[in-house]
Structure 1
Amino acid sequence: MTIDFFWHERPRSTRGPKPALTLDAIADAAVTVADTEGLAAVSMQRVAAELGFTKMSLYRYLPGKTELVALMLERAIGAPPELTPGEWRARLEEWSTLLLARYLAHPWAVEATVGRRPLGPHELSWMETALACLSGLPLTGSERLDTIAVLAGHGRMLAQQAGAMPGEAAPDGAEDEMVRAMGAVLRSHGDRFPHLTAAIGEPGGANQAFDYGLARILDGVEVLLRDRQDQDRQVTRADAQSA
């Protein structure tokens, strides 16, 4: 695997015929296969066939499947959009919602982000955008990174759940399907699961997994920030009294 696949300069030959393929064309063909049949259907041979080339032809452009999948992820997730100006919480809510939408458009992308792989400029730019929202707040570097990791993980989990439900295009739809499946079982076996039966039977509150989880994560960050600010005020008062 070539860790710096996206970052090293590729030589441009001025001799011989013009390259028949581009990395964008290869990525687009692979994304189409993955969108239709899933990531497992993607291989160097399959993508080459879709483009009308031999498998060996693709190796002129990228070292192997690991780099191909990384290239697909960069192409599918794309660059982060500009966030609406505002305070940090609203901007992170927008960031999380936009990232979820990209994962829902390409459910295989969740699987593609697992494990050791080349990191491309788009993926790092999403992180940079989120970290910029936390700039200036009394958080350590590790806390800022962990905050966006938890936010991204929340969206990835719901996107993965939605992708596992055929025909569901949103996490709310996947949640509906799960509730229906549980309801069918509980109609016959509800006496064994009284708390689950009661929770599902209460009106309202359904289809909120993403928004509810996002709000609770950011609530926790706000509590931490208030604690830090209170500590700073106490230190300031103590310093003033001792002066």
Structure 2
Amino acid sequence: MPVNEDRKAVAELLWGLRKPSSRGPRAAFDLDQVADTAVKVADAEGLEAVSMQRIAAELGFTKMALYRYVKDKAELIAVMIEAAVGEAPELGGVTGWRAKLEEYARELSAAWRLHPWLPSITAGDRVMGPRETAWPESALGALAGTPLTERERLEAIMLVSNHIRATHAAATPGTQIWTAGEAGPVMRDLLLRNADRFPLLATTQAVPSPATTREFGLNAILDGLEHAIAQRTPEH
């Protein structure tokens, strides 16, 4: 996270363990409204636009009044994430572990496209809320009937999630030398000028799209899982 967090305090806030303050006048808003307002600012202007001062102004009260809902920016970010992730996918209507993980990956990708700031801020060691925690719980359910060990199932979910995170970042123009962003033509010219040093890149004409890259990588991961599962499944 971009700011330090008191993990115990964040856990109490996200999981409903913190007792509401009885001091002062009745609260004009609830925590969900605070979180939704911050999400809208981040969606429209980027995460850097989110501050305690800005969100308080958007809600029409002072920064000091905002402390009644969240103690600092770390807590504000935490409730933003919990609001933005949305409900975990229901995979019960999909048959087969592979189809379920494909659906999980699609819905995760869709959530991150809706809120482009989410992938970077949800990486790393932090406390998650119940809504966000339901996502890996749902994905693990897809592998419940497989011969993979508990640890392998967790690692499989991490592989899928991290792949979606990586390809989401690659969708930003200019993050790779073959993208169509403003730096693309410049890089292309540099590669041609230095074809002796980078012969493979200089002669490559293909321009992968984020969608095809995401699909290719996901299939490669799932193919590997399918092979591992098949090896451990007794023949009848």
TM-score under structure 2 length normalisation: 0.83
Q: Distance in 1 between matches of 2:54 and 2:112?
A: 23
Structure number with greater Rg is 1
Deviations 1:199-222 (A, max 9, x none): x225xx832210000000011111
Q: What do you get for the CA RMSD once the two structures are aligned?
A: 2.7
Q: Which moved more, 1:60-69 or 1:183-192?
A: 183-192
What is the correspondence of 1:22-101 to structure 2 with a 5 Å cutoff? 22-83=30-91, 84-101=93-110
Q: Distance in 2 between matches of 1:86 and 1:38?
A: 38
- For structure 2, the 5+ residue unaligned runs are 1-5
Q: Is the 8 A contact 1:66 1:117 kept in 2?
A: no
Give the structure 2 partner of residue 187 of structure 1: 192
What is the correspondence of 1:73-152 to structure 2 with a 5 Å cutoff? 73-83=81-91, 84-152=93-161
Tell me the amino acid that sits aligned with residue 44 of structure 1.
M
1:196 aligned to 189, 195, 201, which one? 201
Cα separation, partners in 2 of 1:179 and 1:147, compared to 1, 3 Å: farther
Give the structure 2 partner of residue 240 of structure 1: none
| SS state at 1:135 partner | coil
Deviations 1:54-77 (A, max 9, x none): 111111112221121111111111
Deviations 1:141-200 (A, max 9, x none): 1111111111111111121232x439xxxx9xx9544865643433333332111233x2
Give the structure 2 partner of residue 239 of structure 1: none
2:13 aligned to 5, 19, 27, which one? 5
Q: Distance in 1 between matches of 2:24 and 2:195?
A: 72
Q: Distance in 2 between matches of 1:15 and 1:193?
A: 67
Query: Across the two proteins, how many residue pairs are aligned to each other?
Result: 222
Q: Is the 8 A contact 2:173 2:179 kept in 1?
A: no
Q: Which has the higher helix share?
A: 1
Tell me the amino acid that sits aligned with residue 31 of structure 1.
V
Deviation at 1:17, TM superposition (A): 4.9
Q: Which moved more, 1:36-45 or 1:97-106?
A: 36-45
Q: Is the 8 A contact 1:96 1:155 kept in 2?
A: yes
Tell me the amino acid that sits aligned with residue 208 of structure 2.
A
Q: Distance in 2 between matches of 1:122 and 1:181?
A: 43
Q: Distance in 2 between matches of 1:50 and 1:56?
A: 14
Q: Distance in 1 between matches of 2:49 and 2:164?
A: 24
Cα separation, partners in 2 of 1:60 and 1:195, compared to 1, 3 Å: same
Tell me the amino acid that sits aligned with residue 122 of structure 1.
R
Structure 1 moving runs of 4+ over 3 Å: 8-18, 174-182
Tell me the amino acid that sits aligned with residue 132 of structure 1.
G
Q: Is the 8 A contact 1:5 1:118 kept in 2?
A: no
Q: Distance in 1 between matches of 2:103 and 2:184?
A: 27
| SS state at 1:4 partner | helix
- Residue identity over aligned pairs, in percent, reads 44
